[in-house]
Structure 1
Amino acid sequence: MHSSRPQARFVKLSAAADRVSTTLEQAERSGLRRVLTSQAMIHMAEGALIVLGPMPTEDARRALADTARALNAHVHVVAEHVLNLVQGAAVPDSVFDELHRVLTRYRRDVPNDRSG
């Protein structure tokens, strides 16, 4: 004899599993969104450093990483500060000073005359 009761419990577990699955999918999408946003911010900051430097792409990437390491901060946090700086917003003095120090190390002399 089969009771309907175990089946009802199974259905309740299935519904709970579906809710958990949906919650996990939402968390995964949210995490992916954060990662993509951070990567975009890092790439924009690298572009800003390429112009500010001026410096090659590889050096901009290293300068951003070196600044983050010196400040004991995540690269995306430093990238956000760089973007704030180029937009004229205030950044912490420690970030400004370290960024200046690192940029001085990576700067390349670029000729003023680009005609030839």
Structure 2
Amino acid sequence: MMKKLLMALVTLVVTMGFAFAQVDVNKADAAALDGIKGIGPAKSKAILEERTKGGEFKDWADFEKRVKGIGDKNAIKLSEAGLQVNGKSKEGAAAAKPAKAEKPAKAAEKMADKTAATGK
């Protein structure tokens, strides 16, 4: 019983690591935008209003120009968090960072291995 519970926990933690996804600003709804670190309800509302008013964003420069409070540094951070414009990350941004579930997943796997080895 304990093994099954532990394996279920390991599976849950590992799948959380795969939950990270790229979000295209031209296709996303408010919930998807809110899921990006650095975008809250007010910013997602502003993005959606500007997209409705002016149409889809052509590129990162267009996005930065039209959305108040998004400058070059902020755009890079948002891109690193998974935001894209027309399927493209901001030039100069590091590759999108994976979800922080990787370390707990490794710890849970080690714990599962130890439990399997000891039989407890």
* TM-score category (smaller protein): under 0.3
- Structure with the greater alpha carbon radius of gyration: 1
Structure with the higher helix share, 1 or 2: 1
**TM-score, length of structure 2 as denominator length:** 0.26
Higher RCO structure, 1 or 2 (CA under 8 Å, sep 6+): 2
